[in-house]
């Protein structure tokens, strides 16, 4: 692992750079746009996430001596290109949707302007981050909706790449999860971390009684005890016997969670532990969470389905050249004509139109500079002349997302597959 992010890049970006330096076109002004042709998996909306990480990694996108040496040894590009890379610093501009905001098909969620040479190099890094983080946040948002007021702990680190786990925790928190199991996410992003014990802790001791006793002695009666290692009713009895009414929570990680939660709640109440919470985990996704809405559950832990985007592990975002300078110095829209992969040329503006109740009605994508009446501008400045100007605390993105959900048409929050919640119109 290296601090430089410059080699998190596809080989072809550098060969394109080399050929464009040779032809002279490398120095033409260019506009690249990140957008999704569709929302995969029948999702009704996407969640913008990863913007802050793009800014962090852009700062570390430098070809130092180690990177240059590797490229030279492997003959990836020629000496002229290596010279360009050694001096490389993005000096252009980036606008983007605000993190936590929603997006729809063709929403220009990030626009990169600069010379072709400097902007083309960022394709891989930007897409890697946004495709991952938007996919996770989009799934997380549905889970948060399904959970209503009940908190969700993100606990998927063990099911995804060790660094992706940290980014997934960030995306989940942004979308409304309460906390994460991932300690590095706690350190890097200030996200609350949570967790108490696994089955191994109970199995380690000579009896469940001894394990619970040890946990309570060390972590206090307010801890969460895992009660399904052997027999759930027996474990709950032991738990309350040892911790008393102050027992924080019990966690159920197997079986029919709705039935088990009901039984455990009744047992806890019968034992006088009215304030002890019932937490459930075990392969939960947004549908399983929704199915537990009527069960006496106080919180959820979600792992696998969160970090894999609940069936949609990548967001289908692409990074396309939409305009470039001509030989005569004019900025001109461009678009390929490949079968089945439409893209629209031109530097875009984007606005969201609201109805009289403040609900989102239309996503307006425009190549003219005209601001539509009542349109809320969606693009904000993130990088100006190579300097990062769009940083914000993660909490702001989290608040923005919570607010955005209140403005969606009500039916967009249902879990059924469908079309985008609002139409995208082009002018």
Sign of the CA dihedral with 358 first, then 40, 31, and 95 last? positive
What is the rounded distance in angstroms from the CA atom of residue 310 to the CA atom of residue 321?
30
Min dist CB 352 to a second copy, Å, is: 27
- Which tokens belong to 102? 């929603």
372 binds a second copy (CB under 8 A): no
Exactly one of 51, 160, 267, 281 binds a second copy (CB under 8 A); that residue is 160
Span near a second copy by CB under 8 A; candidates 88-96, 116-124, 236-244, 398-406 = 116-124
Report how far apart the first and last C-alpha atoms of the chain are (Å, whole number).
Answer: 45
334 binds a second copy (CB under 8 A): yes
Scan residues 220-259 and list those touching a second copy (CB under 8 A): 228-231, 253-256
Q: Render 409-427 in DSSP notation, one character per residue.
A: -GGGGS-S--S-SS-EEE-
344 binds a second copy (CB under 8 A): no
Span near a second copy by CB under 8 A; candidates 41-49, 73-81, 271-279, 401-409 = 73-81
How distant, in Å, are the alpha carbons of 43, 109, 141, 375 from that of 406?
A: 17, 20, 12, 18
What is the rounded distance in angstroms from the CA atom of residue 73 to the CA atom of residue 90?
25
Exactly one of 164, 175, 279, 379 binds a second copy (CB under 8 A); that residue is 164
Scan residues 378-407 and list those touching a second copy (CB under 8 A): none
- Those residues whose C-beta lies under 8 Å from the C-beta of residue 277, and which sit 6 or more positions away, are 224, 248, 249, 250, 298, 299
- Which tokens belong to 318? 């692409």
Exactly one of 1, 294, 373, 416 binds a second copy (CB under 8 A); that residue is 1
Min dist CB 14 to a second copy, Å, is: 7
Q: Bridge-partner residues for 249, per DSSP? A: 224, 277
132 binds a second copy (CB under 8 A): yes
What is the rounded distance in angstroms from the CA atom of residue 234 to the CA atom of residue 253?
15
307 binds a second copy (CB under 8 A): yes
335 binds a second copy (CB under 8 A): yes
327 binds a second copy (CB under 8 A): yes
198 binds a second copy (CB under 8 A): yes
Exactly one of 47, 120, 134, 365 binds a second copy (CB under 8 A); that residue is 120
Span near a second copy by CB under 8 A; candidates 98-106, 122-130, 349-357, 365-373 = 122-130
Span near a second copy by CB under 8 A; candidates 14-22, 103-111, 349-357, 383-391 = 14-22
- Which tokens belong to 416? 């059924």
- The answer to whether residues 85 and 68 touch, using CB atoms and an 8 Å cutoff, is yes
């Amino acid at each position: 692992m290296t601090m430089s992010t410059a080699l998190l890049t596809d080989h072809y970006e550098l060969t394109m750079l080399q050929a464009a330096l040779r032809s002279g076109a490398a120095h033409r002004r260019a506009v690249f746009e990140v957008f999704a042709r569709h929302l995969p998996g029948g999702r009704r909306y996407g969640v913008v996430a990863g913007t802050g990480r793009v800014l962090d990694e852009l700062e570390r996108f430098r070809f130092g001596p180690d990177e240059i040496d590797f490229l030279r040894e492997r003959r990836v590009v020629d000496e002229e290109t290596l010279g360009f890379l050694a001096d490389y610093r993005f000096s252009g501009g980036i606008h983007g949707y605000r993190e936590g905001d929603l997006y729809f098909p063709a929403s220009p969620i990030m626009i990169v302007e600069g010379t072709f040479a400097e902007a083309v190099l960022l394709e891989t890094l930007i897409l890697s981050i946004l495709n991952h983080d938007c996919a996770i946040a989009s799934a997380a948002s549905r889970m948060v909706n399904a959970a209503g007021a009940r908190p969700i702990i993100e606990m998927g680190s063990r099911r995804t790449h060790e660094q992706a786990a940290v980014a997934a925790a960030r995306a989940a928190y942004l979308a409304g999860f309460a906390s994460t199991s991932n300690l590095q996410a706690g350190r890097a992003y200030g996200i609350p971390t949570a967790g108490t014990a696994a089955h191994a802790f109970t199995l380690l001791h000579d009896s469940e009684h001894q394990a619970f006793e040890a946990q309570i002695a060390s972590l206090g009666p307010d801890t969460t005890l895992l009660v399904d290692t052997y027999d759930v009713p027996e474990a709950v009895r032991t738990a309350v016997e040892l911790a008393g009414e102050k027992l924080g929570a019990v966690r159920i990680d197997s079986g029919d969670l709705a039935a088990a939660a009901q039984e455990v709640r009744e047992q806890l109440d019968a034992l006088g532990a009215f304030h002890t919470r019932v937490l459930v985990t075990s392969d939960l996704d947004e549908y399983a969470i929704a199915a537990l809405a009527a069960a006496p559950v106080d919180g959820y832990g979600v792992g696998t389905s969160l970090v894999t985007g609940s069936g949609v592990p990548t967001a289908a975002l692409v990074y396309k050249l939409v305009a470039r300078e001509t030989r005569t110095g004019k900025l001109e829209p461009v678009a390929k004509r490949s079968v089945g992969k439409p893209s629209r040329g031109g530097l875009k503006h984007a606005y969201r139109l609201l109805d009289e109740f403040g609900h989102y009605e239309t996503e307006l994508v425009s190549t003219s500079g005209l601001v539509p009446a009542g349109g809320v501008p969606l693009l904000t400045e993130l990088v100006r002349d190579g300097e990062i100007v769009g940083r914000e605390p993660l909490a702001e993105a989290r608040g923005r997302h919570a607010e955005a959900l209140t403005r969606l048409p009500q039916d967009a929050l249902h879990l059924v597959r469908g079309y985008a919640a609002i139409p995208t119109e082009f002018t």
